[in-house]
Amino acid sequence: MKVPLIDKFGRAITYLRVSVTDRCDFRCVYCMVENMKFLPKKDLLTLEELDRLCSTFVSLGVQKLRITGGEPLVRRNVMNFFNGMARHLESGALKELTLTTNGSQLERFSKELYAAGIRRVNVSLDTLSEEKFARVTRWGRLSQVLRGIDAAQNAGLRIKINAVALKGFNQDELLTLTEWCAEGGMDLTWIEVMPMGEMGSEGRIGQYWSLRELRDTLDDHYTLVDLVERTGGPARYVRLEETGQKIGFITPLTHNFCESCNRVRLTCTGELYMCLGQEDMADLRLPLRKFPFSQEPLEAAIHDAIKLKPKGHDFDYSRQRVAGQMSRHMSHTGG
């Protein structure tokens, strides 16, 4: 039996988020600049290499895989990877395989995703206004996303909506989004905008809408019941008594959720980030390619990386500057 992944603070690492591409068919204003320079395709891990890496993590005790991007479903032949991971669901070694998507390709892939064993999908959607959606995504089409959500639900996938809280942009849609999700049988999670990517500190400060304020507004209109359940991620949940739905809050700025962090992030180039809010990473592509027929060096590199996992991050918007800002874009690490 292999040694499980335990960091120096005693946290078991059972959750791996994997970015299969840095490319996306949207250009969301809080995620990337409009004229992004994406990685050369030769720098990306092949789907076979991603399979080997993820399978190694599963053998070391990872029980949940979340596939991200960029937009994961724009990667060519990505369903080959999902179908390969399905064998770990069938064996019972992997408890859940899921993905986060902008929804643009769900109309095309929902049935195949369900057949591969995926049962839950997170869709990033910040507004129900066509005009504002086009503005925040730059290249996106709201109608395409809504059709994708319908197709996913018809295929049997459970949908959770992720919305980034943006000051002056979707504050006025808080109740509208809540009711729309309730009518569609979808839970909703709000995320504080994170200081990642070279976009200028002033822009980040202007986008920041505290979830404390958001929750207070919800509390004025609904009966909120705090829930103790966790889904393996950083969200804290409440139930709205009037609708029965769950509302999540991911608050890396107003509430640090690091004490129970059980996850690491793997990029499409084989970089393993032990913390979203730190620059330290380990290069797993080197042992992966240098020792194609031996697992021991790769497993040793993963264990060495987990030992470096920090206690927490230090995002901070105090004093009108973005302390702890990450130079890499969110699309590089994976959402």
Residue 280 scores a pLDDT above 90: no
pLDDT at 95: 98
pTM as predicted: 0.88
Question: For residue 325, is pLDDT > 70?
Answer: no
3-class secondary structure for 115-174?
HCCCCEEEEECCCCCHHHHHHHHCCCCHHHHHHHHHHHHHCCCEEEEEEEEECCCCHHHH
pLDDT for res 37: 87
Most confident among 111-120, 132-141, 205-214 (mean pLDDT): 111-120
Q: Tens digits of per-residue pLDDT, 57-73?
A: 999 999 999 999 999 99
Residues 220-224 have a mean pLDDT of: 97
pLDDT, position 196: 45
What local confidence, expressed as pLDDT, does residue 317 receive?
40
What pLDDT score does 162 carry? 97
> What is the greatest pairwise CA distance in the chain?
60
Tens of pLDDT, residue by residue over 16-34, are 999 999 999 999 888 888 8
Arithmetic mean of pLDDT, 244-261: 77
Q: Rg for the chain (alpha carbons), in Å?
A: 19
Query: What is the C-alpha separation between 130 and 144, in angstroms, rounded?
Result: 11
Over residues 152-199, the pLDDT tens digits come to 999 999 999 999 999 999 999 999 999 999 999 999 999 998 654 444
**Residue 293 pLDDT greater than 60, yes or no:** yes
Question: Mean per-residue pLDDT for 65-84?
Answer: 97
Angstrom distance (rounded) from CA 24 to CA 73: 9
| pLDDT (0 to 100) of residue 326 | 45
Judged by average pLDDT, the poorest of 148-157, 293-302, 325-334 is 325-334
- Can you list the positions of beta strands (E) in 251-311? 263-266, 271-273, 281-283
> Which runs of E-coded beta strand occur in 157-245?
158-165, 187-192, 224-226, 236-240
Average pLDDT of the chain to the nearest whole number: 88
CA pair distance 185, 113, nearest whole angstrom: 20
Asked if residue 201 has pLDDT above 50, the reply is: no
* pLDDT confidence tier of residue 273, bands split at 50, 70 and 90: very high
Whether the link from the prior residue into 184 is cis, omega within 30° of 0, is no
pLDDT value at residue 36: 86
The confidence score (pLDDT) of residue 197 equals 46
Residue 42: the pLDDT is 86
Give the percent of the chain with pLDDT over 90: 73
- The answer to whether residue 333 scores a pLDDT higher than 50 is yes
**pLDDT tens digits, one per residue of 295-319:** 999 999 999 999 999 887 554 444 3
Structural domains in the chain plus CATH codes:
15-333 (3.20.20.70)
